[in-house]
Amino acid sequence: MTGANLVVALLLLQYPYPRQQYPQPQRQNPNIQGGPAVDAIATFVGTFKSADKKRLLIAVEDGQTMQMYITGSTKFIRDGKPAKAADFHHDENVTVDATRDARLNMLAVRVEAVKPKAKAPDQKSDPAPTVVTEPRP
């Protein structure tokens, strides 16, 4: 009988023991398009040049042009309200928050139109009147 018990024990060891499965939290890569909140790593101030379905071009200091990819999570903002890329005009001042993906491509996270700074109002447009007094006789 010991031989039969040994055979049964060996047969039972061939089958995996049913373990209790605990749900594993799924981690999403934040650099994948549409992933959880992506934090910007840089902010660029420049002028809007062009945008299509995939790319955004802005001119920054020293005449350099930067290309960034537009993703499904890219937000376009004008006057504090959501907008579309088509709402932006050539040579318009913009601020772009960007991050990088796994391949180190620049991804535009937030594109906001910036109004040009208003010039300080002049003190007065007309100079103060000049008072001329004549000597008294």
CATH number, domain 42-113: 2.40.50.320
The ranges assigned to domains in the chain are: 42-113
Q: Give pTM, 2 decimals.
A: 0.58
With a CB cutoff of 8 Å and minimum separation 6, the contacts of 75 are: 82, 109, 110, 111
Alpha carbon distance 61, 64 (integer Å): 6
Query: What is the per-residue pLDDT for 20?
Result: 59
Query: What is the per-residue pLDDT for 35?
Result: 41
Query: What is the per-residue pLDDT for 88?
Result: 95
Q: How high is the mean pLDDT in each 10-residue block of the chain (137 residues)?
A: 75 65 56 50 93 95 92 93 94 94 93 79 54 60
Instruction: Write b or e for each residue in 2-16: b if 16 or more Cβ atoms lie within 10 A of its Cβ, otherwise e.
Output: eeeeeeeeeeeeeee
Alpha carbon distance 97, 43 (integer Å): 4
